[in-house]
Homo-oligomer: A and B are copies of this chain.
């Protein structure tokens, strides 16, 4: 597909299937979620391909790795600035697009060069209540 040409990565059918799965995906899938979804179309799909592709997309700034779930990495194809609201029970994740102004005075940063921030809200989702 031409729409992925701008990524400047070699476009294989497997990669296109992964990209299609990720496009507009708001579920913040794990590698396993991606693997299972793409395996339906490519039964020989291996985990290595999922991880390789995610690595390539991360390097191109086209996918964000989330550390929200301590048991496994999750991935977000939306690289715009936003935050997350996580259900402490089922680990479902909702995007929060508010722009919060968080100023840290120099004397608190202990000589760090600040790059950015990320806010994790937590709560219990509708289904888990």
Interface residues of A (CB under 8 A from B): 65, 67-70, 73, 85, 87-88, 94, 96-98, 100, 102, 104, 108-126, 129
Among the listed B70, B117, B122, B129, which residue makes an inter-chain contact with A119, where contact means beta carbons less than 8 Å apart? B117
What's the number of copies of this chain in the assembled complex?
A: 2
For the complex, give the distance between the alpha carbons of A120 and B30 in Å.
21
Residue of B nearest to A87 (CB): B112
Which residues from chain B contact A70 at a C-beta distance below 8 Å?
A: 65, 67, 73
Cβ B129 vs Cβ A113 within 8 A:
yes
**Nearest B residue to A121 by beta-carbon distance?**
B117
Chain B contacts for A97, CB-based, 8 A: 108
Could you jot down 6 A-B contacts, CB within 8 Å? A96-B108, A98-B104, A109-B123, A113-B124, A115-B123, A118-B119
